[in-house]
């Protein structure tokens, strides 16, 4: 039985080995990656530069954009580089890093979405106490607590994954080091380990999901008691982008982990992996910028100021 230390690299077999399809994969992923980077960086820049957006809701949104940048940067650049250079290799340490950071960013995303749901609950259900409860210190403490907790969870998750011995080869049927694909290469029966990990992950996921549901149950009950239609619409409009983002995240995760592993094809596994690792970081800035009037106004102001500065500089140079 070969020990895991004998494996120095893994082969990522996610996409085709036909050169033309590799170039197509590189171009598609490049467009997606640049769009996600530009969208999230714009959100971060707008919130950082506009002092009107220096409040808890946008502070949490900026953190979400930072996590989305990390999520898509863990898998996509390496996959693009492999396609461009016509190789499939990733080092053992690179695979460990991918697993750790992908788990970290994905779970941090959901933890932050839970905090954002609580922020909306306080803003709508307890508006008079909002500034007291959701002050700067409280926001930083909640965000930091989520990040530290998830770092510990990611370390345990990654440690358990790579503590096993790999004797089923080094070929991973995915475009990144996915835990479920790595476990297929294990020498021993990993059923009990998988069940323990699934139970722990499900408890973490369900606790966050239940907190989000409870927050929005209270929010909807409060909104229904608002006497004017305009007031109800204004309250719901602040929650709609967050609800859409949560729905996209939860639906992709559920689809990824509740599909039958025994009957799923490699093509389906590949599509699901693209959905949960690439789609949320791409869609989140679009959802928030399209549905949020303050961000759209700040974006127009920022772009207009940049154009004005350029025109002013060109006139000065002439």
Q: Which pLDDT score, from 0 to 100, does residue 117 have?
A: 92
Assess contact for 273 and 256: CB atoms under 8 A.
Answer: yes
pLDDT digits (tens, 9 = 90+) for 33-55: 999 999 999 899 888 888 888 88
Tell me the C-alpha distance between 219 and 213, whole Å.
10
Tell me the C-alpha distance between 240 and 290, whole Å.
11
Q: Which pLDDT score, from 0 to 100, does residue 230 have?
A: 84
Q: What is the DSSP string of 67-128?
A: HHHHHHHHHHHHHHHHHHTT--EEEHHHHHHHHHHHHHHHHHHHHHHHHHHHHHHHHHH-GG
Q: Which pLDDT score, from 0 to 100, does residue 296 have?
A: 77
Q: Which pLDDT score, from 0 to 100, does residue 309 have?
A: 52
pLDDT digits (tens, 9 = 90+) for 92-113: 899 999 999 998 998 898 899 9
Q: Which pLDDT score, from 0 to 100, does residue 215 have?
A: 92
Q: Which pLDDT score, from 0 to 100, does residue 242 have?
A: 85
Domain count for the chain? 1
- What is the C-alpha radius of gyration for the chain, rounded to an integer number of angstroms? 22
Which residue, among 37, 55, 42, has the nearest Cα to 238 in the 3D structure?
A: 55
Q: Which pLDDT score, from 0 to 100, does residue 115 have?
A: 92
Q: Which pLDDT score, from 0 to 100, does residue 317 have?
A: 40
Label residues 102-115 b or e (16+ Cβ within 10 Å = b).
Answer: bbbbbbbbbbbbbb
Domain that holds residue 187: 4-317
Tokens of 52: 């009107």
Q: Which pLDDT score, from 0 to 100, does residue 263 have?
A: 47
Tokens of 78: 């390496």
Name the pTM for this structure.
Answer: 0.84
**CATH assignment at residue 283:** 1.20.1070.10
Tell me the C-alpha distance between 193 and 287, whole Å.
38
Q: Which pLDDT score, from 0 to 100, does residue 1 have?
A: 39
Torsion-angle region of residue 86: left (phi > 0), alpha (psi -120 to 50) or beta?
Answer: left
How confident is the prediction along the chain (318 residues), in pLDDT tens digits per residue?
344 447 788 888 877 778 888 899 899 999 999 999 999 998 998 888 888 888 888 888 899 999 999 999 999 999 999 888 888 888 989 999 999 999 899 889 889 999 999 999 999 998 888 888 888 888 888 888 888 888 988 888 888 888 877 776 788 888 888 887 887 887 766 566 666 667 777 788 888 889 999 999 999 998 888 888 888 888 888 888 888 888 888 887 777 666 555 445 567 778 878 888 888 898 888 888 776 777 877 777 777 655 545 544 444 344
């Amino acid at each position: 039985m070969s020990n895991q230390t004998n494996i120095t690299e893994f082969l990522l077999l996610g996409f085709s080995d036909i050169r033309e399809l590799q170039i197509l994969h590189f171009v598609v992923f490049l467009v997606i990656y640049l769009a996600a980077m530009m969208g999230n960086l714009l959100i971060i820049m707008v919130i950082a530069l506009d002092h009107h957006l220096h409040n808890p809701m946008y502070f949490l949104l900026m953190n979400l954009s930072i996590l989305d940048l990390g999520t898509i940067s863990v898998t996509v650049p390496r996959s693009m580089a492999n396609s461009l250079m016509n190789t499939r290799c990733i080092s053992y340490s690179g695979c460990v890093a991918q697993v750790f950071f992908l788990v970290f960013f994905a779970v941090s995303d959901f933890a932050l979405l839970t905090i954002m749901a609580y922020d909306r609950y306080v803003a709508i259900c307890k508006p008079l106490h909002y500034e007291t409860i959701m002050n700067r210190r409280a926001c930083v403490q909640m965000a930091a607590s989520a990040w530290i907790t998830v770092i510990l969870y990611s370390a345990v998750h990654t440690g358990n994954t790579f503590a096993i011995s790999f004797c089923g080869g080094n070929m991973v049927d995915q475009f990144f080091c996915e835990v479920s694909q790595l476990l297929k290469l294990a020498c021993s029966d990993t059923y009990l380990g998988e069940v323990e990990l699934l139970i722990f992950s499900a408890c973490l996921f369900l606790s966050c999901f239940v907190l989000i549901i409870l927050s929005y149950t209270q929010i909807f009950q409060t909104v229904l008691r608002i006497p004017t239609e305009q007031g109800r619409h204004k309250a719901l409009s602040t929650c709609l982008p967050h609800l859409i983002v949560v729905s996209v995240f939860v639906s992709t995760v559920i689809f990824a982990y509740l599909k039958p592993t025994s009957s799923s094809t490699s093509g389906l596994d590949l599509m699901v992996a693209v959905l949960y690792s690439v789609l949320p970081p791409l869609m989140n800035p679009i959802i928030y910028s399209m549905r949020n009037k303050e961000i759209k106004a700040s974006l127009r102001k920022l772009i207009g100021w940049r154009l004005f500065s350029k025109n002013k500089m060109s006139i000065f140079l002439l």
